[in-house]
Structure 1
Amino acid sequence: MRSLFSDSARITQILPVPTELQRWDKYLGNYISSIEKPLPLCEQNSVTFCTSSIQEELKCLDLQKAAFSQRIRPGIDCKRRGSKQECLELVSKRQADLVAVDLGELYEAPTTIVQQLEPVAIAQGITDYSVAVVKADSGIKFLYQLGGRKSCHASFGDIASWIAPISVLSERSLLDKQSCNKADQIAEYFGGSCVPGAADLRVNHYRSGSDRLCSLCRGDSLGLHQCERSTSERYHNQAGALRCLVEGAGEVAFVSLSSLAANVDGRSQELWARNVPLALDSRNFRLICRSGPSMMLGDYERCHLTRLPGKLLVSTKFTSTEDRLTTRHLLSRLVDKFHNENSDMFDLFGPYQNETDLIFDDSTNRIVPLQLELSTFDLVSRQHFDPSFQQLPLAHKGANCKVVLTTSSGYSIHQQILAYPARHSFILAIAITLLTLFL
């Protein structure tokens, strides 16, 4: 006993830690004030993360404490807003330093905000894909057979279930390449859809095609909140899109492979899934391929729509070079110390208090810094992604579109002249171009 714990003979017993002190921050008590004392000769600047939910804020605050306890500087501050869009605005105004977003969330942001932003790093992890899923007995074998069928999507603007299908259907000439108004085109192409958020003016300006895009949505148990981008709509998010397919409202669901895997073969934590375990047997589904006949779920590497890029860590382009380098150094230290393989103190990338994908996707395993002074538009440069992927023709380019920007990498950004809201075509251009590099 003495050699294991101490050379002191005064240790006579080991007592359990009281339940109320079993959190590390509670156990440390007043020692936290000592941990948080400034380091000698260090400037007391900090990096402010913007979070978009209470759960994200709590994770950020615990990360703040864990980082301080490991003497990681600069410190971390946390600011919460109601959505990623509000966070992007906050960062653009230099009232926060960083926010993690995916391309779908950039897609929704006004052009005036995106022009003020700069990507700092990409959060990468296990390769994920956008997939089109049908029931095995549906009779649907090929991509072209989806025309006139009923479709299920996680939400309007979602990268896996909205932008990726638009890109692939356009590239295969199943949607009209001469039009920028993809919302109307999707509404006409499918025989009814559930696209939560399609009737929301904040993301679908003019509510293009919203009647048909919301026709399969159910709302809550009372039929309220139909087509909302919230959990009140039973078919909202990735699991909701799969539910839309399983319950027979739709005939094809566009989801991410990771969400599909998390909800089949008894792995789903959703209450509705517990009542239909047989319906969620992976053998009951097939993947629709970009070309060729459908395949089993296990063949996803050969049968998917696109490979999905990770989240972007975005800052304002007005940040000084010194502060950018400081932020990159901080991110590197956080990964080194709190990667789930390296630390049992705090898990930077894994689930937090039974909540998934908070700040970062749970599948993230590294953060890759991007070159300094890289604009959001220059991110389409092929050098940042797998060079084996071929760029497809820009799906939104057409007779009623005009070039509004050509990046330093030579990629053109287009905007519809009249009918389609500028911010959608502008950001959709960035998103689709990025996606095509992953096809």
Structure 2
Amino acid sequence: MKTALLIIIICICWSRCWGKKVRWCTVSAMEQRKCAELAKALAGVLPPAALAAFGRLSCVRTYSTDDCINKLQANRADAVTLDAGEVYTAVKQFGLTAVAKEIYSDGSCVMAVAVVRNGDLDVRSLRGRRSCHSGARWTAGWSLPLGFLLSRNYLPWAEEQPLSQAVSEFFNASCIPGSATMATSLCTLCQGEKSYVRHHNFHCETSHNEPFYSSQGALRCLQTGKGDVAFVDHVALTSIHEDEREDYRLLCTDGSRARLGEFQHCNLGRGPGRGVVTRFNYRTIARKFLNAVQTAFGRQGRARQRFQIFESASYGSRNLMFQDATKKLAILTDDSDISQVLGLDYVALLKGLGHEGSSLQDSVIRWCCISAAELLKCERWALSIKSDPLVCVKASSMSNCIEKIKRDEVDAVSLDATHSFIAGKCGLVPVATEYYGEQCVTSEDKKTGTAHFESDVLPAVFSVALARRSTRGVSLSNLMGRRSCHGHMYSPAGWLLPVQHIIGDQENSSAPCDPSTVYSKVFWKGCLPGSQGALCKVCVGGKEEPGTKRCTDNHNERYYGNMGALRCLVGDPSGKSYGDVAFLEQHNLEDNIQSLNSSGWAEGWQPSDFELLCTDGRRAPLSEWESCHLGAIPPNIIMTRPVLTSRVYDFLMKSQETLSAHRDLEFQLFESQSYGESDLLFKDASRCLVHSTHLDYRAILGEEFYRAAEAVFNCTHSDILDFCQQDVCSIF
């Protein structure tokens, strides 16, 4: 009965292939033999009549995966399984399409690990060593490790040179199968047979005829003493015999080393595993073929005693046709975009590494702006510098900037501490940090002659609660039913820090931990740009079109940010729509009060007309903010995608150098009042931008602020975090 049902299922799948012969691409004699055995097994499962009606599997022998891709494009083969980096190339440069992904025990991704023999080698001392890689442009053997080395500035990469040249100059010698056309030193360690006949040359090719091909081959390169380090995927570690495992260690990103079994926390990054590609007009047939084969010969296949598609040992090798560690194939739908299949981070990494070749985009820095005022300042910045070209891109909010960086639509932005926390969770990394100290200290880069700003101490600013002096009854202990003014959604001073003081002072409070929920319960109404409901009722919208763009999470809402919260406290120019308490940052507060008069917003206000609300219930003058505040706020962090850190940092340093050398320029990087706002692009309190590519965002934020943010977001819904946490490794 079971056999009959199996035949019916496979017949249905094959009958819909319209009698097409499926031509599978192989890259070695061993893989050709396994493919032939699969064809024979299918013939044994299907009755002769079905074979005649539905066609057969045939195996097309090629000499490399590059040759496979060419044959697929030329309609001389139909399908092949490739590393994710090759999948991207096949889709973007050859017009092929992905139809399936391999799924492993912990999802569809692999971790890139650097394996070395026991010794003193660490990830910071790889320059001049001999390297073994699974393959050129492969996830674990190329893209992830090089992305990591670039993000830490361990691997120098001059803008005008190809990445392959930078890699060949970094390592003393290498074997990177598939790199023969890039740089000769990248193939020095390879062992494949050399021949002047193209189809017989296997040296440094992506074929099992190159002994050091794939993760298994890279480990072989290390084990035979040819190389000092092997960049492979974590799946390959299981092939190292138990008796030998103590002879090897993994290199961790912090400079430490770990045992082979500790790859979960000691790796160079995680990226998509292998996928099956075909021509676009063949995708329906390929999917049905894969479904049929998996139904018969997969892990739960009804005929798996006859043949197993995820087993290769009996053919004298590993990972033939598919990875042996594959649990199943996830069949992709027609609407699966390559960014969904491989993940936004990985696609952005490949673009950053030049997988699509050079373009105009590679020579510019795209800065994210969240309002017309920021766009204007950014454009004047671009006109004032003579370094790399700057392009200004409009976004709707800081969260939208994070999303656009993830999508490779912009490159960098300066984020407040809370948004930096979110960006860090989204995989972005620090480039530089705003410095609010008295004096910036420069250190000269001897190689470039460029002045870099360094500091071991990163001064904070502080969150304060501000009230009009005339409203004597307002204090932190009696805010129930008042009207509130907050800088914007997720702002440290206006959203994150005040909530812990407000919760503690409300009697009979159920103490929800979502700040927006707390504020909506405590306050009658307010203005929290980016929020909704009662917390938008005090907002006034845009200046150009009154009543429009109300409560937007950017400067188009006149009550946005520190200056906006102050305007909210005094009311709009007509004296209406105001709050009783404002939560904002203490820096530049007196200057902002003075600008109320000069900007024409409100007349007659002086710093003495306002008081701070202290946590002990008292009120204090503005000058006493050091003893009357709601908490310290870490500095803003300029963040980007990991592979761009060096380029963005160099741009910022050149920009600072240019502007510092020409103080007569009308444009000032850390000044915003001439645009009618405050803190545009950077905080006005900034003195300079200091080097931070060597620091983790958590280290810059500090443990106290990091834990506070983590506690809040553990119980607060966030659309941007939902977007970032769409894990391509586990959604299939």
TM-score range (shorter-chain normalised) is 0.5 to 0.7
User: How far 1:196 moved relative to its partner?
Assistant: 4.2
- Asked if residue 184 in structure 1 is aligned to residue 160 in structure 2, the reply is no
Q: What residue number does 1:253 align with?
A: 230
User: How far 1:172 moved relative to its partner?
Assistant: 2.4
User: How far 1:402 moved relative to its partner?
Assistant: 2.8
Q: Percent identity?
A: 24
Cα distance between partner residues in 2 of 1:373 and 1:349: 27
SS of residue in 2 equivalent to 1:318:
helix
Distance verdict in 2 for CA 1:285–1:112, change over 3 Å: closer
Write the deviation string for residues 368-416 of structure 1: whole angstroms up to 9, x where unpaired.
1222154xxx3123xx468999976953269964349xxx9944699xx
Q: What residue number does 1:304 align with?
A: 267
User: How far 1:299 moved relative to its partner?
Assistant: 0.8
Moved more, 235-244 or 225-234: 225-234
Q: What residue number does 1:24 align with?
A: none
Runs of at least 5 residues in structure 2 that lack an aligned partner in the other structure: 1-6, 194-200, 363-403, 412-642, 645-726
- Where do residues 244-393 of structure 1 align in structure 2 (5 Å cutoff)? 244-265=221-242, 281-319=244-282, 324=284, 327-342=286-301, 343-351=304-312, 353-354=314-315, 355-374=317-336, 378-381=337-340, 384=341
1:163 to 127, 143, 163: 143
Cα distance between partner residues in 2 of 1:99 and 1:106: 10
User: How far 1:190 moved relative to its partner?
Assistant: 1.8
Q: What residue number does 1:4 align with?
A: none
Q: What residue number does 1:402 align with?
A: 360
- Asked if residue 50 in structure 1 is aligned to residue 24 in structure 2, the reply is yes
Q: What residue number does 2:215 align with?
A: 238
User: How far 1:252 moved relative to its partner?
Assistant: 1.4
Write the deviation string for residues 175-196 of structure 1: whole angstroms up to 9, x where unpaired.
3466462211111112332334
Cα distance between partner residues in 1 of 2:296 and 2:167: 45
Cα distance between partner residues in 2 of 1:393 and 1:226: 26
Cα distance between partner residues in 1 of 2:275 and 2:216: 23
| Aligned AA (1:305) | L
Distance verdict in 2 for CA 1:344–1:89, change over 3 Å: same
CA contact 1:328–1:369 (8 Å) conserved in 2: yes
Write the deviation string for residues 7-29 of structure 1: whole angstroms up to 9, x where unpaired.
xxxxxxxxxxxxxxxxxxxxxxx
User: Which has the larger Rg?
Assistant: 2
2:114 to 132, 151, 157: 132
1:228 to 204, 222, 232: 204
Write the deviation string for residues 186-208 of structure 1: whole angstroms up to 9, x where unpaired.
1111233233454x3xxx2xx43
TM-score, normalization by structure 1: 0.64
2:102 to 94, 106, 123: 123
User: How far 1:287 moved relative to its partner?
Assistant: 0.6
CA contact 1:403–1:413 (8 Å) conserved in 2: no
User: How far 1:101 moved relative to its partner?
Assistant: 1.8
Cα distance between partner residues in 2 of 1:214 and 1:86: 18
Cα distance between partner residues in 1 of 2:36 and 2:214: 22
- Asked if residue 84 in structure 1 is aligned to residue 65 in structure 2, the reply is yes
Moved more, 84-93 or 185-194: 84-93
- Asked if residue 213 in structure 1 is aligned to residue 191 in structure 2, the reply is no
Distance verdict in 2 for CA 1:67–1:379, change over 3 Å: farther
SS of residue in 1 equivalent to 2:281:
coil
CA contact 1:104–1:159 (8 Å) conserved in 2: yes
Runs of at least 5 residues in structure 1 that lack an aligned partner in the other structure: 1-33, 267-280, 415-427, 430-435
SS of residue in 2 equivalent to 1:156:
coil
Distance verdict in 2 for CA 1:64–1:164, change over 3 Å: same
Cα distance between partner residues in 1 of 2:224 and 2:247: 13
User: How far 1:106 moved relative to its partner?
Assistant: 4.0
User: How far 1:258 moved relative to its partner?
Assistant: 2.5
Distance verdict in 2 for CA 1:338–1:357, change over 3 Å: same
SS of residue in 2 equivalent to 1:254:
strand
Cα distance between partner residues in 2 of 1:236 and 1:386: 25
User: RMSD over aligned Cα, in angstroms?
Assistant: 4.4
Cα distance between partner residues in 1 of 2:213 and 2:308: 28
CA contact 1:338–1:347 (8 Å) conserved in 2: yes
Distance verdict in 2 for CA 1:105–1:69, change over 3 Å: farther
TM-score, normalization by structure 2: 0.40
